[in-house]
Structure 1
């Protein structure tokens, strides 16, 4: 074989080896996603995992589309599908991990029975979580929507009965814990509740049910990387019994593993 060809093949082999051995970069919300990933990083020594914590200024799906990260772990599938439409991208779901039940919280009332007429209710302003919030209000007996099935997206325009004359106020999801100082109720995503020091299983006046919940959080990557051995190993770790047990012990019902 020609010496130049041998050198080229050797260089290609070296590049391929170093690429496959590179750290797997995963963007994740601080709580609980980064905590779960760091648990895996500590227990699976064969997986070189780099956890990149998100802040409010970063869109993890844009980072993934640009190749700045190899995967992200922070969202549920309905939100992901909206993001695919908005970004004109196609992503791949490779693991389904946990549910963060949306909760109703208050600094103003102790029970939903104490809610005054015309109370302000702060809800997430993105399409899917707004719908979840409205269905949680319906499940709690506070409003009635056109549809009873949570699989149909709802907006405030779908409220057909509002006996308490609740005022629905849409707020950026990360800001919802702060809204507790002003609104009578705030409906907060589990991760933001935990970050704010709330314990959903203890502090929420009402919580979403885990059964048949379509909003499980998932590990997402690109179609090109979906079969990458590092991605497959992380997916296996996230869906393992060991990770499910860690979630149960760490969050005590505030985060619920999908897998047994």
Structure 2
């Protein structure tokens, strides 16, 4: 009996010494504003599922993919698919999209006019200096009859693709994060929603032109190709694409950010 008691005590001690399984911990890169706000909500919902998320904010669109490709991040959530495809083609990144997130219809804003028709002949229009977002603004101008672009330009036209410019617009390229600051110096500027909101602009009511929400520019979560089948990726995507996060987006952003899954 004494031996059985000692054996039982030893077994209990061993079981008690086994630590619970550690939570999976990942780092996700985002840009400031809505992407960061949404990920904070995702972080809270993912924690009880054993997924701990550290959110790192980046002020531009280039570094998050560089950091992910280098292994300094486990995932990022800030870009749409045309931009990711362009970055992979240009830089050879070994990363892949694993789930859609939200759409931010880009807008053209002005402090000088109330409609784009009022932009003067020869007026200056600032656009993002990255190919995909700059191209979005050019396509928006074409869709509204202010420019004509060459055929077959796809989703990434450039200034060189302008074939007709009836208002003789002067198109200037500026870093996307700096575009809100350019408004006093230009007649109009195409500004991504996250930077517009960060600058206190209303992406629903303030633009003098606004992109259709049904375009190809749905944002996504990206990971390294080698990680795409990891369990934490499925947990992350399922948590993001949940009804609770959809409700959070609708209640927080009032139509300026649209859930796209």
TM-score computed with the length of structure 1 as normaliser = 0.87
Report the equivalent of 2:142: 138
Distance 1:217 1:56 in 2: 15
Secondary structure in structure 1 of the residue aligned to 2:205: helix
Paired residues for 1:1-260 under 5 Å: 18=22, 21-44=23-46, 45-46=48-49, 47-56=51-60, 59-147=63-151, 151-211=154-214, 213-259=215-261
Q: Deviations over 1:151-187 (max 9, x none)?
A: 3431122222211111000111111111101000000
Gaps (5+ residues) in structure 1?
1-13
Secondary structure in structure 2 of the residue aligned to 1:203: coil
Q: Which has the larger radius of gyration?
A: 2
Once the two structures are TM-superposed, the CA of residue 125 in structure 1 deviates from its matched residue by 1.0
Distance 1:57 1:167 in 2: 24
Once the two structures are TM-superposed, the CA of residue 57 in structure 1 deviates from its matched residue by 9.0
Decide whether the 8 Å contact of 1:118 with 1:165 is kept in 2.
Answer: yes
Decide whether the 8 Å contact of 1:132 with 1:150 is kept in 2.
Answer: no
Decide whether the 8 Å contact of 1:122 with 1:187 is kept in 2.
Answer: yes
Distance 1:140 1:58, change over 3 A: closer
Once the two structures are TM-superposed, the CA of residue 56 in structure 1 deviates from its matched residue by 3.7
Secondary structure in structure 1 of the residue aligned to 2:204: helix
Q: Comparing 104-113 with 48-57, which one deviates more in the overlay?
A: 48-57
- Computed over aligned residues only, the root mean square deviation of the Cα atoms, in angstroms, reads 1.8
Distance 1:56 1:127 in 2: 14
Secondary structure in structure 2 of the residue aligned to 1:179: helix
TM-score computed with the length of structure 2 as normaliser = 0.86
Once the two structures are TM-superposed, the CA of residue 99 in structure 1 deviates from its matched residue by 0.7
Q: Comparing 238-247 with 95-104, which one deviates more in the overlay?
A: 238-247
